Chains A and B, each alone.
Chain A
């Protein structure tokens, strides 16, 4: 058995409690509060204690999907990304850059948010960038 503890931060509310994922043989087995963390000092709420459950859910998406005639089909990454990019570039050409909007996310990392707004501004050339902070 291979067991390790990996530090992370709870992904539910904005409090930002420090957690340790207990990883056994490549699977997150449980979530523990980080004792020394300045925010939560070794405590968690009911959602935090069960943080790993959504990560391990059998409902997780495991491959990109492309809709064909109203039904989703599993696709390779190249197929899905190229299909999406072709359509966005067509829309941009027909209706201008501001005919596309990008909703970045309060759930992904800073790095990913940075890249998403960079994609909107540098690749699509639009400032139509927002996220769900208002909702």
Chain B
């Protein structure tokens, strides 16, 4: 059992997305900090401006500190439209001159001199930002430092900071999405060669054990090399196996011939009825074995020739006629009507005459053995593109659902008869090697037809390509 591994694409995309998310989170946090700082800076200036205006409006009149609060100071603070304003004016003795008595801070007012002081604190339960500015009084009747404390709620600051952060967030999010989309496209593009390689492997003919030649990036080369190495070894093994089968068949043929001769020599006369029956059966089996051995040899030959023999233009009618003669035995039942028809012109095909003849012989032989009752017709016909050798008989035919099966080795529609068939397999392989195919036609008004279809030589280029 193999666990289902997540795809490379999603692995990469997920990791890139994680990195982008982390980056975006960091950027947004940074933007938030900067936005707060910027908002505080901007509004602190307003606060300070207002405090300075108030401090400037302090005057000393007959030993008393008098304030003439300028409206403009409040208008300045009012630029933060929704914020509440608190202030306190403290005279040099530390008494509150006006404003909110309870506006206290931890800051010791005496320490505030030339430079204003800012602080963030709470006042009446709400967060405020406050500033303290000092005003030096040097009137003979009143001297020292008066202080103005101005505080403002932080709504406008927070609103500005939120606004800035929000915009930055939108930018960062847009950027991250763009980056993610770009990365996904890039990953998809980078992984394309894998899909190409896969498709090339799938498209290959199952019989084709030659090295795969596909453009692949450097990263895939080791993988491709392994595949090719494996294919090479497999090819060697298959070759070896085929050679072994051919050798074995060849080796079997000689003793088999001898065996048949010996069986013929057995005197039937001395035998009783059952002995004769047994002998007939032995003869039949020996014939079948001989045929099978021949077919095995023929199959091995066909495969060998399809790999090694250069195709040449041949006249299909000649080949078919020769095959017809070879396939019809002299001892044929005289009640069976056999015929051969051919067109006047010669349909030329690119092919190997030996293989083609072998294929046609096998089809006719098959028909004689399993199909023909009283009629066998062999025809050569051709149309615009293809030439066909058709073998028609008046037998029961093969049901369409088995058509595909019977072209495989050692499968026959009549398995119970014990004759494992290589005939159709040989014919089919020859047809495929010639860029054509072995086909069947349903038993109609005429009879059941098996045909071998080969492209005409005019389609020369096509044949080459298929090969």
Decide whether A and B assemble into one complex: no
